Amino acid sequence: MLCPFCSCDDDKVVETRSARNHTAIRRRRECTACGRRFTTYESVERDPIRVIKRDGGREPYDPQKLRRGVRTACVKLPIPSLELDALLDRVENQLHNTLGGEVSTEEIGNLVLRELAGLDPVAYIRFASVYRRYRDLHEFLDEVGTLLKSQ
Ligand SMILES: [Zn+2]
């Protein structure tokens, strides 16, 4: 690692710690030439996920888009934002575990719904009504019925 002060490329690690909630390693390094210290972070680089849209087209997975969708479904519900973040992390981890790095919008929706079902029924119904695009009122009521039975 090039020293940011003198550009020498020789250093020794003086401290190694877990960081960013165990998703990164933080290292304090000391330049062997000028003796100054600097910090580096090491984390896993993940392959990009591609989303298969309803029309068969592909687009890069956009985490912000999913976050917006889930947050919208949870507006004005007593759900702590930490819990929402944890939910989104779990969904994203599952997306990264899919083979081939491609996942359909339907699969993403189902992963989120499974999580929301355990979190808040209102958020679940709101999200479901967008993602599943009910064909008619009966389909929507069936979904509500299924949900109420499982409570
Ligand atoms: Zn240096």
For residue 149, report the distance from its CA to the centre of ligand 1, in Å.
66
- 3 inside domain: no
Tens digits of residue pLDDT in 16-27: 999 988 889 999
pTM listed for this prediction: 0.64
pLDDT digits (tens, 9 = 90+) for 82-110: 898 899 989 988 888 877 788 988 888 88
Specify whether the CB–CB gap between 33 and 10 falls below 8 A. yes
Tell whether 4 is covered by a domain: no
Angle at CA of residue 104, ends 98 and 110, nearest 5°: 85
Considering the domain architecture, whether residues 20 and 64 belong to the same structural domain is answered as no
pLDDT tens per residue across span 40-86: 999 888 888 899 988 889 999 888 888 888 988 898 889 888 898 89
Residue 5 lies in a domain: no
Task: Report the pLDDT value the prediction gives residue 16, as an integer from 0 to 100.
Answer: 96
| pLDDT for the residue numbered 137 | 72
Centroid of ligand 1 to alpha carbon of 31 (angstroms): 5
Number of domains in the chain: 2
Q: How far is the CA of 23 from the centre of ligand 1 (A)?
A: 28
Where in the sequence is the domain holding 37, given as residue range(s)?
A: 11-43
Residues 37 and 77 both lie in one domain: no
**59 plus 116 within the same structural domain:** yes
> Do 38 and 56 belong together in one domain?
no
